[in-house]
Structure 1
């Protein structure tokens, strides 16, 4: 271990504040992180709506999400609240406002992405360590898409959904899921995950947190809001994964609770995306206002 790293770890254990900023977040700061994660992830996913998907035979070659956006938030800020806000932002600003809301079935995606981001954000002990960032970026896609693939295979196995076979090769469902999984890791995990994240996160570390009235993450200290490393968390994660499966089956069983699908994007064209962007911008401004209030309160206390 280098002398600098050892010094950082010692400082991380003994210092309660950095530049007068407390380590523990207030309730308003947690809400601020949640709102900012909602807004930024919502805008990022709205941009994806105007990018056409490419299909090569039975394989869909597309970008599922810009991993680097929510990853930067969970790696720099509170992992729990950022991980919770990111998928909810996608549901609100993309699915609901664009008129493609599947009701309770949306909970599947929220749970899966929350678990993926929460675990990935907790892996980044040092936001300037590019190896940790790269591992976290791939982890997001590996967990999210693995759970999604298991849901798809379970639907076919139970018989509530027809499989998409290659003609003459019934066993190809496993092959197609595997190819799709690899494409997602390459496109979302590496191209739009690792590559921008290893540049963006170190560049923002130590700069964005004080603006939000928060203390930058210090290598070696416990990360507030990170995933606990014990059997209880594993049990809770497994329980949430099973719960996401149950919500996924609601749609397959034609149980439509809270479904809202006027398909406004198809009706009014791509220009309707600006409605979602405008709503996300308002949410972002609310987050900025909360940040300013939290920073002002921190300055007053110091």
Structure 2
């Protein structure tokens, strides 16, 4: 079996630009992209590692494809299951960029007429619906997708796995090592909303640095950072950037964020400092001036570690339920 899989991977890679790798664990094989997209590399790697830990519990020979739809030849060898990783912002107001043609979910837009709800935007829906399972990084997105009639065929496929990346930081702020005092990590700082914010910060002489080229070893970046500021890219795309803020929190970074709708659904919003876009500059100045006290108020109690450990446990339980579901399918198909 292993030789057959290796041969099929070799044949596939001979004709495709995006190369595949694989690992065998017990009865199962995991096939995945040899190089994940740089913007989501750490989350995809986290999912891959989580799957590899769970695959020993798969009872029969099978092949799992992560972010790859199974080529037909693999289906002749063993049962195949495909896994999609959903990283879009789905919580979009009507009229937002790339929002045409999407229907509304049931999450109301704050401070809007009661009849106005967020759109449930999935640009990759046509590809996504072909997959057997869909991993979602955001509970806000998850609820938004589940509430849209158009996506009813996805509901039984969805798995929520929080981006609980990186090891938990210790009990010290380690301020001397954190030489990046305050950062943003906007991929495009020329987006009008973010550009205006950085200009306001400069005009108020509040030090801040945009780090936009640090894609590998992001854990090291966060280990050297005191404060991360999170600003949404547009006025219409409202999903909280959890792929950014949760890993930063776990690394002991104080996260100051523009208020995000339905932030309580994250289950860790109490550890983030929130404010409106206009309020953020003075909030940031205050935290810079009172860094140690602020750090201790967030990370200096056992509650933070308990919550982070709980998020990790929930991910493990989700994958355990997933493997049981797979085993049921495998048994039923015999």
Could you state the TM-score of these two structures normalised by the residue count of structure 1? Answer: 0.34
Larger radius of gyration: 2
* Bigger relative CO (Cα 8 Å, ≥ 6 apart): 1
- From the two aligned structures, give the one with the greater helix fraction: 1
- From the two aligned structures, give the one with the greater strand fraction: 2
Could you state the TM-score of these two structures normalised by the residue count of structure 2? Answer: 0.31
